């Protein structure tokens, strides 16, 4: 059985980075299943679109018949499950999509994966893996002096998004312990890098700073996040897929805890450096807006387990990663123009009112 990875949500931010990285680093074939919602963008994958080892299928992970057909046709050796609704603010305004995709969709995928895995011979069963990509938000919020989230931290999700991801994590765990499905879960901290949809903090601030628009920062700007460069995250996922022990969870972090206001100030300074011409500093564009409901104060990840057991560590510092990211967004105006449609602009106007 040749190595084929079924990637769900592969046209999204992290999924497309993972596919591009694997296509370059490995000889495996990749089948990309993506529903192409607002955050999915096939332009991210133009460079591999016609590659003989790459196949794109538009569809929903909740479509059991389609999933079954993909298993029968492509006979994958692994499933890497990125597909999810992932924006906290959207989950607050409309949680139904998050329940449908993150819980019901994951359940449908698990059922079809279990049936396919059960049909394999013993050698193929032993090789097969399902890797579920999740988030640090399932653990809730930390106080200033609390230790970082570890793999055994009690779940305490505080948003509809986080609750839906926690539910999917529990389903994956249950399918391993009940049915023996060789499943792994990764919980990552905040990602940043190329191809991130511009509703998220870092690309939004880069683009607004470039255009001289207000930079909306929630509350006092002192909410703390751990930041992970997306290519480091993708390398970690590949490492867990190759070396991880089925049934285990691995936390993936960047060891970069920073308050949001510091991130925004760094972006202002980098945009000033890379796109000069403005009379005053972009820092003057920072505008504090009403905090969002249930805004977690601090996330931090203890990534020592994946480092100790699997030998992975992030390569990028935040300083090197954010410089690469700002440069990419400033150099790819066509990509930005393509994704920032009228519906996206309406979302920003609705959500970030001062």
Q: For the segment 217-261, what is each residue's pLDDT rounded down to a tens digit?
A: 999 999 999 999 999 999 999 999 999 999 999 999 999 999 999
Residues 6+ apart with CB under 8 A from 67: 33, 61, 108, 109, 112, 113
Question: Taking 90 as the threshold, does the pLDDT of residue 353 lie above it?
Answer: no
pTM attached to this predicted model: 0.93
How remote is the C-alpha of 336 from its chain's centroid? 19
Task: Give the confidence band of 186 by pLDDT, cuts at 50, 70, 90.
Answer: very high
**Length of the chain in residues, anyone?**
354
pLDDT number for residue 36: 87
Neighbours of 229 (CB within 10 A): 24
Whole-angstrom Cα distance, residue 237 to residue 203? 23
| Phi and psi torsions of 98, nearest 5° | -70, -40
Choose between 352 and 105: higher pLDDT.
105
- Asked whether 51 and 22 are in contact (CB, 8 A), the reply is no
Query: Which residues on neighbouring strands pair with residue 54, listed in sequence order?
Result: 30
Q: Where does 204-272 show beta strands of DSSP type E?
A: 215-218, 224-229, 249-252, 257-259
- In this structure, the dihedral spanned by the alpha carbons of residues 270, 271, 274 and 280, taken in order and rounded to 10 degrees, is -110
Question: Taking 60 as the threshold, does the pLDDT of residue 53 lie above it?
Answer: yes
pLDDT number for residue 1: 43
Residues 6+ apart with CB under 8 A from 305: 150, 151, 250, 251
Please pick, among 136, 257, 296, 302, the residue that the annotation labels catalytic.
136
Among 3.40.50.720, 3.40.630.30, 2.60.40.1080, 3.40.50.300, name the CATH number for the domain at 4-194+229-254+297-315: 3.40.50.720
Please pick, among 54, 116, 139, 161, the residue that the annotation labels catalytic.
161
Percent of the chain with pLDDT over 70: 95
Per-residue pLDDT, averaged over 308-323, amounts to: 97
pLDDT number for residue 198: 86
pLDDT number for residue 26: 92
* Average model confidence (pLDDT) across the chain: 93
Question: Taking 80 as the threshold, does the pLDDT of residue 263 lie above it?
Answer: yes
Per-residue pLDDT, averaged over 249-277, amounts to: 96
Which stretches of 188-229 are DSSP H helices? 201-211
> What DSSP designation does 104 have?
I
Hunting for tokens 């002192």 — which residue is that?
222
How remote is the C-alpha of 354 from its chain's centroid? 28
Give me the half-sphere count of Cα atoms (radius 13 Å) on the Cβ side of residue 292: 20
Q: Among this protein's residues, is 136 annotated catalytic?
A: yes
- Asked whether 137 and 88 are in contact (CB, 8 A), the reply is yes
pLDDT number for residue 30: 98
Task: Give the confidence band of 296 by pLDDT, cuts at 50, 70, 90.
Answer: confident
Q: What three-state secondary structure class fits 222?
A: coil
Task: Give the confidence band of 350 by pLDDT, cuts at 50, 70, 90.
Answer: low
pLDDT number for residue 347: 52
Whole-angstrom Cα distance, residue 142 to residue 285? 29
Pair of tokens at residue 278:
């403005």
pLDDT tens digits, 61-76:
999 999 999 999 999 9
Choose between 280 and 354: higher pLDDT.
280
pLDDT tens digits, 91-118:
888 899 999 999 999 999 999 999 999 9
Q: Among this protein's residues, is 329 annotated catalytic?
A: no
pLDDT number for residue 345: 53
Query: Which residues on neighbouring strands pair with residue 33, listed in sequence order?
Result: 8, 57
pLDDT tens digits, 110-159:
999 999 999 999 999 999 999 999 999 999 999 999 999 999 999 999 99
Q: Among this protein's residues, is 161 annotated catalytic?
A: yes
Whole-angstrom Cα distance, residue 221 to residue 232? 26
pLDDT number for residue 92: 87
Longest dimension (CA), the chain: 68
Backbone Cα Rg of the chain: 20
Instruction: Using CB atoms within 10 Å of the CB of residue 79, give its burial: 0 to 12 exposed, 13 to 18 middle, 19+ buried.
Output: buried
Residues 6+ apart with CB under 8 A from 303: 251, 252, 253, 255
Whole-angstrom Cα distance, residue 92 to residue 120? 41
Residue 218 Cα distances to 123, 198, 223, 271, angstroms: 52, 16, 9, 21
Please pick, among 137, 257, 296, 302, the residue that the annotation labels catalytic.
137
């Amino acid at each position: 059985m040749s190595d084929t990875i079924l990637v769900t949500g592969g046209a999204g931010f992290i999924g497309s980075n993972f596919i591009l990285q694997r296509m370059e680093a490995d000889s495996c074939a990749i089948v990309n299943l993506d529903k192409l919602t607002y955050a999915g963008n096939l332009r991210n994958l133009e460079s591999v679109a016609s590659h003989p080892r790459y196949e794109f299928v538009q569809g929903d992970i909740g479509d059991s018949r389609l999933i079954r057909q993909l298993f029968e046709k492509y006979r994958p050796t692994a499933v890497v499950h990125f597909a999810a609704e992932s924006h906290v603010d959207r989950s607050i305004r409309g949680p139904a999509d998050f329940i449908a995709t993150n819980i019901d969709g994951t359940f449908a995928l698990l059922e079809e994966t279990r049936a396919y895995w059960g049909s394999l011979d013993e050698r193929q069963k032993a090789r097969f893996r399902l890797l579920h990509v999740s988030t640090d938000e399932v653990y809730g919020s930390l106080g200033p002096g609390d230790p970082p989230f570890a793999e055994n931290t009690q779940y305490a999700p505080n948003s509809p998004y986080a609750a839906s991801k926690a539910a999917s994590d529990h389903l994956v765990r249950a399918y391993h312990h009940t049915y023996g499905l060789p499943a792994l879960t990764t919980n990552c901290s905040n990602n940043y890098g190329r191809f991130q949809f511009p509703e998220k903090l870092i690309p939004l601030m880069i683009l607004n700073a470039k255009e001289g628009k207000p930079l909306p920062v929630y509350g006092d700007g002192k909410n703390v996040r751990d930041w992970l460069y997306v290519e480091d995250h993708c390398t970690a996922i590949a490492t867990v897929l190759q070396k991880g022990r089925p049934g285990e969870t691995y936390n993936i972090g960047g060891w970069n805890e920073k308050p949001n206001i510091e991130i925004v100030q760094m972006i202002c300074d980098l945009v000033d450096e890379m796109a000069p011409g403005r009379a005053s500093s972009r820092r003057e564009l920072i505008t504090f807006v009403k905090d969002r409901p249930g805004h977690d104060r601090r996330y931090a990840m203890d990534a020592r387990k994946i480092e100790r057991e699997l030998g992975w560590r992030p390569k990028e510092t935040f300083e090197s990663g954010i410089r690469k990211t700002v440069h990419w967004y400033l150099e790819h105006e066509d990509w930005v123009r393509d994704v920032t449609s009228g519906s996206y602009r309406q979302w920003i106007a609705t959500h970030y009112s001062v």
